[in-house]
Structure 1
Amino acid sequence: MQKVVALGGGHGLAATLSALRQITSDITAVVTVADNGGSSGRLREEFPILPPGDLRMALAALCADDEWGRTWANIMQHRFESDGPLNGHAMGNLLLASLWNENEDPVIGLDRVGQLLKVIGRVLPMAETALDIEGTFNTSTGRIVVRGQKEVATAKGRIESLRVIPENPQARLEVLTAIRVADWITMGPGSWFSSVMPHLMVPMQQDALLRTKAKKILILNLDATSSTTGEEFAGSTPEEHLEFFHSYAPELKIDYCLVDSSVVRNSVALDEAAAKMGGRVIAADIRKAPGSVHHDVSKLTLHLGHIMGPKLVG
């Protein structure tokens, strides 16, 4: 059974996890913890907890594929609609917040919910504590500094730099162990600056990525000018994404860069950007439908399975 660690956050990571679970049951999802919008942002303001939203989506993506698992996946994703304070909150966010508010260790709480949902694999936070993301952008009106995952994800302009606050956050031992023993590591797709890049900004985690013998797959977004939600600016070309990634982890080797064929405008430049990272580009049809900003799970399963080899779940 191949051991796979999937790094990311939000809808992009959920799509990758939905594909990976068809390939192996030994999956560890490592999820960003900087969400400051919506239900997660409100809970984070009220309680000293990790933002639960991206962790909830990862749990739901790995729910058991039976009546129990599918029922709980729907419950976890249920979002209240009312004129009161519960409006907009996701049930899974409240469940995680209640466990953590009882002074439950974040990972123990995630494991408890994982047992309830009978998840395939395990879901872990990227860092010990909640983080903020800060980006510096060049815009038509000058340089601006933007703070917050939501704000960075929707900022317009050319990004200059990115950092997490507090700097040098502490990684979880469980994450470092999973990376060390993994056969494969995937990163992306998703909001490049707020879901993918932050994984390079936890020093112990980047060091673990450098030391592991696992092969690494970077899954690029379907549109270099948008995230999987269609809101993030994120640069103008796929090779710019690779170059920005490489600038924050110049020693990190990426074996494969999986990209949808439709977003490749300059194959030579993209190949060169991937080669700088020690890898090669695999261009394939992985889009849900023409014009869609979402990856097709079955297509991702096909191509990730082809890359990783024939050892599928029996």
Structure 2
Amino acid sequence: MNQDEPLTPCVHRMTSLGGGHGLYQTLLAARYCCEPRGVTAVVTVADDGGSSGRLRRELGQLPPGDLRMALSALAADDEEGSLWARTLQHRFGGHGALAGHAVGNLLIAGLCDVLGSPQAALDMVAKLTRSYGRVMPVCTEPLDIEADVAGLEHDPRLMRLVRGQVAVATTPGQVRRVRVVPEKPAANPEVLQALRDADLITLGPGSWFSSVIPHLLVPEVVDGLRRTHARKVLVLNLSAEPGETQGFSSERHIHMIRQHAPSLVIDHILVDASSLPSVSERDFIERAAGGLGARVTFRDISQVDEHGRPVPIHDPRKLADALREIMAY
């Protein structure tokens, strides 16, 4: 695909669920395959580290970091929009009270105090950045993640409870199951409307246990995914992540989705072709996908370095092209 060639939108409304850098790349892809202002980002709210964790603890608000990243990805595609995107992502240096805080985090937190609503705050930032769409927290209250982790005791059969997004993401053990606290949280009503209105819904890529699966621990979201008429696509990670999914095969990523949301039905699972070159590995993936009712699509969707070698980052243009093909089935 010619990277300079403009893409014609293939959907009116696209809703993407995730968090962090994985959702950021998906939203860049969404700008190529969705009509302007038709994108909705649905973001996890369990972060407890860094600037987000500090603001969450000090102000009792939703952690703003992943919300900020999504707003940055959707900022207008011109000089002013680019300036806003860089400013939202800018972090203060030094050693004082502001050190490490991102400007966007502080802006969202301040607007939330002034307007009294996290969604109103996010919509106001989107107005400032002339966003391609809206950014929504999956829930209107902050969540905590806790995980059952094996391999932290002398007996590998024993499980230890690990709590907190950062602790789960960096554990040297193997995550077996995650939960959110409070259990069965209420979904943001605007998220449920976005699921109903969408033509295309994506889940992933991202940190599997701390950015992707938490969406599926909100019962109303799973019910909304079951009821929607949208095409639902699970985008697999390009590789296992150090920490929470170290040593996981692509097949096991799918099994984890089914384990945490057994009633979920997905239409397509999108897999990077270069990360699974062998026929046997692809057969395993397709059998696992059958448990979700999904068809597997193998496409080149990774970025390449200056030597033409794949790197573990999704390429927005390639991802957009693959989503367009899926919508054409």
TM-score of Structure 1 vs Structure 2, range by shorter chain: over 0.9
Deviates more, 1:129-138 or 1:285-294: 285-294
- Which SS does the other structure have where 1:292 is aligned? strand
How far the C-alpha of 1:102 sits from its partner, in A, is 2.6
Q: Contact 2:231 / 2:327 at 8 angstroms: preserved in 1?
A: no
- Point out 4+ residue stretches in structure 1 off by more than 4 angstroms: none
SS in 2 for 1:236: coil
Q: What residue in structure 1 maps to residue 5 of structure 2?
A: none
Relative to structure 1, the CA distance from residue 234 to residue 3 in structure 2 (aligned partners, 3 Å threshold; closer, same or farther) is farther
Indicate whether 1:273 and 2:288 are aligned: yes
Deviation at 1:4, TM superposition (A): 0.9
CA contact (8 A) 2:112 2:118 kept: yes
SS at match of 1:136: strand
Q: Which residue of 1 aligns with 2:25?
A: 15
Whichever residue aligns with residue 319 of structure 2, its letter is L
Corresponding residue of 2:212: 196
Deviation digits for residues 127-150 of structure 1 (CA, Å, limit 9, x no counterpart)? 010001001011152422111111
TM-score (normalizing by structure 2):
0.89
Aligned to 2:44: 32
Mapped pair 1:50 → 2:66: no
Contact map agreement 1:191 1:234 (CA 8 A) in 2: no
Q: How does 1:184-223 map to 2 (within 5 A)?
A: 184-223=200-239
- TM-score normalised over the length of structure 1: 0.94
Tell me the equivalent position of 2:248. 236
CA contact (8 A) 1:78 1:91 kept: yes
After superposition, where does 1:1-314 map in structure 2 within 5 Å?
A: 1-24=11-34, 25=36, 26-102=38-114, 104-139=116-151, 141=153, 142-223=158-239, 225-226=240-241, 232-233=244-245, 235-264=247-276, 266-289=281-304, 290=309, 292-309=311-328
Distance 1:157 1:110 in 2: 36
Residue type of the alignment partner of 1:101: D
Separation of aligned partners in 2, 1:35 and 1:204: 21
Counterpart amino acid of 1:278? G
How far apart are 1:292 and its partner, in Å? Answer: 2.0
Contact 2:115/2:121 (8 A) holds in 1: no
Alpha-carbon distance, 1:206 to partner: 1.1
Rounded to whole Å, the distance in 2 between the matches of 1:49 and 1:14 is 22
Structure 2 stretches lacking a partner, 5+ long: 1-10
Q: Compute the displacement of 1:158 (Å).
A: 2.7
Gaps of 5+ in 1: none
Q: In structure 1, what is the Cα distance between the partners aligned to 2:285 and 2:135?
A: 32
Matched residue type, 2:177: S
- Separation of aligned partners in 1, 2:115 and 2:133: 24
How far off is 1:39 after superposition?
Answer: 0.5
CA distance in 2, matches of 1:23, 1:191: 24
Q: Structure 2: how far apart are the matches of 1:134 and 1:102? A: 32
Residue 235 and residue 201 in structure 1: after superposition, are their counterparts in 2 closer, same or farther (change >3 A)?
A: farther
Shift of 1:183: 1.1
Aligned residues: 306
Distance in 2, matches of 1:185 and 1:238, equals 20
Distance 1:46 1:140 in 2: 31
Identity, % of aligned positions? 49
Q: CA RMSD in A?
A: 1.5
Q: Which deviations, in whole Å up to 9, do the C-alpha atoms of 1:46-74 show, x marking residues without a partner? A: 10100000000000000010111111001
Look up the SS of the partner of 1:99 in the other structure: helix
Q: Which amino acid aligns with 1:275?
A: G
Stretch deviating more after TM superposition (179-188 or 133-142): 133-142
Question: How much does 1:234 deviate?
Answer: 5.0
